[in-house]
Structure 1
Amino acid sequence: MAPSGFRRGRVAVGRLLGGLLGLWLVLWTGAGLRVEPAAAQEAPSPLPRIEAAETMFEQALRAFQQEEYGIAARRFEEAYTQFGFHRKTTAAMLMAGKALYRSGRYAEAIRVLEDLMRTYPTSRYVDEARRVAGYARQQQEGTAQATQPLQLGIALPLTGDDVALSQAMFNGIRLAVEEYNEAPDTRRPIRMVFRDTGNDPARARAAVQELAEANVDVVIGPLFSEEARAAAAAAERARVPLVVPLDASNGVAEGRDYVFQANPTLTMRGRLMARFAVRNLRLRDFAVVAEFGNAASERMAEGFQDEVLREGAALHYFKLLPSAADWYRLPEEVGPDTLANVEALYLPIAGARATTYVGAALSGLARMGVSLRVLGNSAWHDLPMAQQASAFSTTYANIFEVNPDNPAVRAFLQRFRALTGEAPAEQNQRLVYTGYDVARYLTHHLAAAPRSLPDALRAAEPYEGLALRLDFREGPVNQGVFFHRYRLGQIDRLR
């Protein structure tokens, strides 16, 4: 489980496109680029009326109104260049600038409009020309920005004993970024920017601040709890999106707008198991047995309890065993009569010897002769005692699963070997696949919504990667998990 292994632990790249969107709405609803002032009736003028110029202007105006901006720009230009100075000259220049703007020819629009302002500074169209020229300059800047690389910040320990862990996660991130950059439809490549978090909250905080100052679009990291909390606070202040890939402790992302946890918190895991049991398994009567002093077990049990009650179901029994050794004494600690009216018993078992304690708990339940469904956590995945687990239709929430028969997994492993010369080490698989899945998820949403990534993540449909599910629709803590059941000595995926 991630917590036991990882317990030790800019402002966004400008708001130009957001501003341009508002500008676009102004322009296209007619509030900013009105045709009427330059086209409609003018006050009596001492300037000469040239019928050919008047006709040319009217033709250009019709083309503009029909959204044929290229034709309109040429006709307006002819109207103010071919007939000397006349009463439509400045109006034609203004409208030529507008037509060029509408057709995306911003530099030409600026040139014409500046010529109008410089040559005829007392014209009544000067203010509007200045306004449209300003819009064109903003669009020029936005177009240039749209071709610049997106920036993915990576905040991991790059020195010390944890370099190997960072390297494993980075290999996954790198493969996802390379895959994105090599895609034929990629319009803005992604550039990776690194900062060293060390094993120090202060360094992690500084790393995120530096990445924000470097105008990264999103940050992945850090690895450990204390560094993650410090980085989360810095990211929230700088308003730069931060996705914490591994830490599962409470208080990192909750209540924040720019911070997300890819690894469900322990409390969330308990909640999700309870929700699935009530809504999908149609169970209503529950009991919980967890281990006192085991923080992971306690947090999952608390989350399960809270969600059962929130769902309106009944929790008949809740017990914290005094020690891990008491998993061997489950009949004595609980007793069969206690579970007489219980449909499902939640056993969140955690720690280095979790599989051993799971076996002890199953043996104890068998001795008790109870008929109920066992609910569990990731420690119940891929047990050697599958037949015993099947006897209780054991169902559990799992946060990490790799299907070796998945063609996408096989393709990933081939690319990984090409990069590193070997398959991911067993102890590093979680890091490698997490790096890849989180980065691949982010590259997709970053390309689609670089200026509103937090909103995009909150609105996104659940994502299923090679090993993770990611779902932030109900909050900044991932709610994407797998649900499995033991049946006839085999593991079935229920959802």
Structure 2
Amino acid sequence: MNKFKLILFLIFIILTNCIYSQTDQRIIDSRFNAAVNLFENKNYTSALENFIWVIEDNELNSKTTVSYLFKAKCEINLKEYSQGKATLNYLLQYFPQSKYRNEALITLADLQINTSDYYGAMSSLTLLIDETTLPYYVNYAKLSGKKIALNYLSSSDLVSLYNNSKNQVTKPYLLYLLGQIYFKEEDIQSSKNSFKEIINLYPKSEEYNDAQNLYYYGGFEKRIGSAETIIGVMLPFSKNEEEHSTVNEILQGIQFAVDEYNKEHDEKIGILVRNTERNREKIFEIRDEFQSIPALKVVIGPLFSDEVGFANKAFYRTDIPLISPTATEDGLTLQNLNFFQANPSFETRGKVIANYAFNVDTIRRAAILSASDTYSSTLAKAFAREFTRLGGEVWVNTDYKTGNYNFKESVDKINAYRDTIQCIYAPVSSINDGAYVLSYLVVDSLQVDSLNIKIYGNQDWFSNTLLKSSSTIGNNLIFTSDYFIPFRDRDYIRFNDKFFELNKFDSNRNILYGYDITKYLLSILSTYGDNVYSVSQALKSSKISIGYHNNISFDNDRVNKFLNLIRYANGIFKLVDKYKLE
């Protein structure tokens, strides 16, 4: 009987502990989820307190290791860098089997980059490649590591990392980088030895084919050492290209800039033009030709975002800088560390106008009206992120579908706060959209003219036909544009006279897309044109080039951070500023 009572008592204790354990985990899960929400809303101090509670006030549980990761991210965002690093190192040391280890190594590498510990960052990325078998993390680490190694590390740094690595994926990767760094240091023989070691020891590696080409054919060495200079040009000509097509006009702008330069300099620069046909296979053929030419130091093109994707894959391992004068899609520079976007991306455009509204016009309360099914939505999201990051508030964020111009519901939402909001951001995707938006904002419902509510827009507002319907909207509207032609500027008038004399027609935006980027490149090549590395480094140096249609300077993501801000007043478009995103 006593034995039976003892068994019942033990069962009761076990069940009670299980119930308490499940209850405790539910509480932990609830606090953890609340902390994540706080983190996503950038309330890092409160989020940190909750993550610390999960870690320190509870026994080891299912949320412990991920809380260490989030704790470190909070500390980093709060600029407590040494504490963030300590937290990540603790997680990596004491929880080596955590499923969050890869993310912890990436976070640690990012922290080390931000604190200029480039060797440490490369060590973290090398360790990630050593340990992970997931392609995403391997590719991310290799891409980031290449940028760090070629920009900040010496050959002795790479030798040390190579000697400390034991992985058959990491070692040939480090040897390949080492060979390139030896070239930068003008140690040609050591560079050859690095590529030869890949050929002999790692025949199954991802770097094997490139190492063979560089070692046996010397294409890499020739490209590094050439004193001559050629600009490659890749443009998508059609079979029956019109004389004044966009492609032809951009090429004429490029040619005019090079002709101007060569007339004033003894050392001439040439151009080599090839037709991409907007075709993947053709772009890879052009890659093979361009990388075999020692004098070719940089490429202008492609024009369109889809062919930029092909080119980034083709040129990814060549180290030849590519610059598109017109592509606008987001994320293109993430595909290739040597791709540069001279035309600001959608993300940059939304951020620029938000930055201007907050910092120059001191706007703090905004409404957003956008089309949900076009790039208008992308612009609206970028504006909202940047505006709130700066400290502004978006009181209304509403949208409509292109072609369905019933704005009543959206305008009613904005109208509810008409006495509170200071601006409306209205990126449109066509003149038709703009006409309907204008009608609702000015005439029918909101009457922003009389309310003195500022209107911010995008390049699709750049239409005299559209804006002349409202005599007063110009006092309220400022919009972004990647071009503005200064017709009354004396320097531009002289430039256009020279261009007209040669070509028998006036310059236009397409001419200037080609001319301004080429003028910028020529200034780079005249000083830093020794090799593809020095050209690429100069492009990444934030050098500012004053252009006619827009200025050019690349940010850390290699996207142009200048954009024109334009106002419409008294039937005339006027430049407010060539605004630089900081």
Same fold (TM over 0.5): yes
* Deviation for aligned residue 1:145: 6.1
TM normalised by structure 1 equals 0.65
Distance 1:324 1:158, change over 3 A: closer
Distance 1:365 1:486, change over 3 A: farther
The corresponding residue for 2:548 is 466
Q: Aligned letter for 2:292?
A: E
Distance between the aligned counterparts of 1:420 and 1:439, measured in 2?
18
Distance 1:351 1:201, change over 3 A: farther
Give the conservation status (yes or no) of the 8 Å contact 2:345–2:559. Answer: yes
Distance between the aligned counterparts of 1:257 and 1:180, measured in 2?
28
Distance between the aligned counterparts of 1:182 and 1:17, measured in 2?
33
The corresponding residue for 1:321 is 400
Distance between the aligned counterparts of 2:277 and 2:352, measured in 1?
33
| Partner deviation per Cα, 1:353-392 (whole Å, 9 max, x = no partner) | 355345324334554764421111122235324633135x
Does residue 224 in structure 1 map to residue 308 in structure 2?
no
What's the RMSD between the two structures over aligned residues? 3.1
Give the conservation status (yes or no) of the 8 Å contact 1:329–1:364. Answer: no
Distance 1:479 1:333, change over 3 A: same
Q: Aligned letter for 1:398?
A: S
Q: 1:306 aligns with which of 381, 385, 397?
A: 385
* Deviation for aligned residue 1:156: 0.8
Distance between the aligned counterparts of 2:291 and 2:553, measured in 1?
25
| Partner deviation per Cα, 1:96-116 (whole Å, 9 max, x = no partner) | xxxxxxxxxxxxxxxxxxxxx
Distance 1:433 1:252, change over 3 A: same
Structure 2: gaps (5+ residues): 1-175, 189-220, 578-582
Distance 1:307 1:21, change over 3 A: farther
Give the conservation status (yes or no) of the 8 Å contact 2:405–2:436. Answer: no
* Deviation for aligned residue 1:402: 0.5
Distance between the aligned counterparts of 1:340 and 1:208, measured in 2?
58
Distance between the aligned counterparts of 2:248 and 2:361, measured in 1?
41
Distance between the aligned counterparts of 2:415 and 2:262, measured in 1?
59
Q: 1:19 aligns with which of 185, 207, 216?
A: 185
Give the conservation status (yes or no) of the 8 Å contact 2:400–2:407. Answer: no
Structure possessing the higher relative contact order (Cα contacts under 8 Å, 6 or more residues apart): 1
Structure with more of its chain in helix, by fraction:
2
Distance between the aligned counterparts of 2:542 and 2:236, measured in 1?
30
Q: Aligned letter for 2:504?
A: G
The corresponding residue for 1:77 is none
Q: Secondary structure of 1:193's match? A: strand
Distance 1:493 1:444, change over 3 A: same
Distance between the aligned counterparts of 2:316 and 2:434, measured in 1?
39
Distance between the aligned counterparts of 1:277 and 1:187, measured in 2?
47
Distance between the aligned counterparts of 1:474 and 1:365, measured in 2?
43
* Deviation for aligned residue 1:433: 1.1
Does residue 208 in structure 1 map to residue 290 in structure 2?
no
Does residue 414 in structure 1 map to residue 497 in structure 2?
yes
Give the conservation status (yes or no) of the 8 Å contact 2:328–2:346. Answer: yes
| Partner deviation per Cα, 1:178-220 (whole Å, 9 max, x = no partner) | 111111xx35321111221002133223323422222411101
Does residue 243 in structure 1 map to residue 342 in structure 2?
no
| Partner deviation per Cα, 1:400-454 (whole Å, 9 max, x = no partner) | 0001122332233223223333335xxxx33211000111111111211123122
Give the conservation status (yes or no) of the 8 Å contact 1:241–1:453. Answer: yes
The corresponding residue for 1:347 is 426
Q: 1:167 aligns with which of 234, 248, 258?
A: 248
Give the conservation status (yes or no) of the 8 Å contact 2:369–2:424. Answer: yes
Larger Rg: 1
Q: Aligned letter for 1:240?
A: I
* Deviation for aligned residue 1:293: 1.1
Give the conservation status (yes or no) of the 8 Å contact 2:399–2:410. Answer: no
Q: Aligned letter for 1:449?
A: Y
* Deviation for aligned residue 1:151: 0.8
| Partner deviation per Cα, 1:98-140 (whole Å, 9 max, x = no partner) | xxxxxxxxxxxxxxxxxxxxxxxxxxxxxxxxxxxxxxxxxxx
* Deviation for aligned residue 1:487: 5.3
Distance between the aligned counterparts of 2:386 and 2:317, measured in 1?
32
The corresponding residue for 1:155 is 234
Percent identity between the two aligned chains: 21
TM normalised by structure 2 equals 0.56
User: Which runs of structure 2 are paired with 1:244-323 in the superposition (5 Å)?
Assistant: 244-254=324-334, 256-294=336-374, 296-323=375-402
The corresponding residue for 1:376 is 457
